[in-house]
Structure 1
Amino acid sequence: MPTTVTNHEALQLVVAVHRLVRSLRQAAPARRLQPTQLLVLSELSAHGPMRIGEIAVRALCSQPTATTVVTSLESTGLVRREPDAADGRATIVVLTEVGRETILSLAHGEAELLSERMSELSSEDREHLRSAMPILRHLADPQENK
């Protein structure tokens, strides 16, 4: 049994995960958001209001990209900027109620579709997926697991 993972094996997993996520997003009948927009909304939903710099770190993008994404989300009413109580010179980005409803709707739509797809798998394959979830969460965000 191999003890190391080859770059090819890792690439195959990356491609499979991307295809799965893309197919769920394309099939789910919900508001269309760009991947970085969705990631920013998800981070704000999970971690609360934050500065642009922190959004950039959490969304794994540059600060100018985070600023552009926040501006687009703000123009559609999904987020708003507020003065930072800790530093009057800075602003924080807050998820609006519309933004919260949007992220929940997207998540539920995608989860419902994935549930349907998973129900078509064998019970053994479903159990493999269940046991892989903590591992995938760890791979997705190794910093949170330290």
Structure 2
Amino acid sequence: MSAQVSDDGQLAGRLSLAVGRLHRRIRLASNDVPPLQLSTLVSIENHGPLRLGELAQREAVTAPTMSRVLAALTRRGLLVRTIDVRDARSSRVALSPAGIRLLAEVRSRRTALLDVRLARLSPQQREALIAALPALEALVVET
């Protein structure tokens, strides 16, 4: 193990700081979409049309908060609401074509930002990142 990172506490601290700073810089590439709105769009994309309560639970927010988020996204034309066939009193939200385009644009900007940053690394640093990817991906998996 590196002398710079002599224990798990130091590793966790340095990793947290590096990942947090990188995440903030990447997030700036989509600064026209607040984080909760963007996360909500991704949840809808990943899990299909959802009811407000399902989205609130997935995003760990209250129903009134999610209602405001959905209203903002709907005003921007990023969502389509449909009647829930199992319960006509509620609706489900899905991405509109504009919502699909927005997510593609955000991902493209974020990827371009990372490409620029990766280009600054030495070949050895790039190889180290490639080797570390399986471990980083394992950190994301819930157990």
TM-score, scaled relative to structure 2:
0.79
Partner of 1:14 in structure 2?
16
Stretch deviating more after TM superposition (88-97 or 46-55)? 46-55
Partner of 2:57 in structure 1?
57
Partner of 1:79 in structure 2?
79
Cα separation, partners in 2 of 1:137 and 1:63, compared to 1, 3 Å: farther
Unaligned runs of 5+ in 1: none
Give the percent of matched residue pairs that are identical in Structure 1 and Structure 2: 34
Hey, what's the Cα distance between the residues in 1 that align with 2:61 and 2:16? 18
Partners of 1:81 and 1:94 within 8 A in 2: yes
Hey, what's the Cα distance between the residues in 1 that align with 2:12 and 2:55? 27
Query: Which amino acid is 1:65 matched to?
Result: T
Partners of 1:31 and 1:102 within 8 A in 2: no
Partner of 1:25 in structure 2?
27
Secondary structure, aligned partner of 1:92 = strand
Cα separation, partners in 2 of 1:136 and 1:44, compared to 1, 3 Å: farther
* Count of paired positions: 140
Hey, what's the Cα distance between the residues in 2 that align with 1:53 and 1:140? 25
Hey, what's the Cα distance between the residues in 2 that align with 1:118 and 1:59? 30
Hey, what's the Cα distance between the residues in 1 that align with 2:111 and 2:78? 21
Cα separation, partners in 2 of 1:137 and 1:53, compared to 1, 3 Å: farther
Cα separation, partners in 2 of 1:12 and 1:56, compared to 1, 3 Å: farther
Q: Report matched runs for 1:1-146 at 5 Å.
A: 5-6=8-9, 9-26=11-28, 28=29, 32-142=32-142
Offset from partner CA, 1:44-97 (integer Å, 9 cap, x none) = 122221112221232233332222211111111111321111221221111111
Hey, what's the Cα distance between the residues in 2 that align with 1:51 and 1:105? 25
Hey, what's the Cα distance between the residues in 1 that align with 2:141 and 2:62? 18
Cα separation, partners in 2 of 1:57 and 1:17, compared to 1, 3 Å: farther
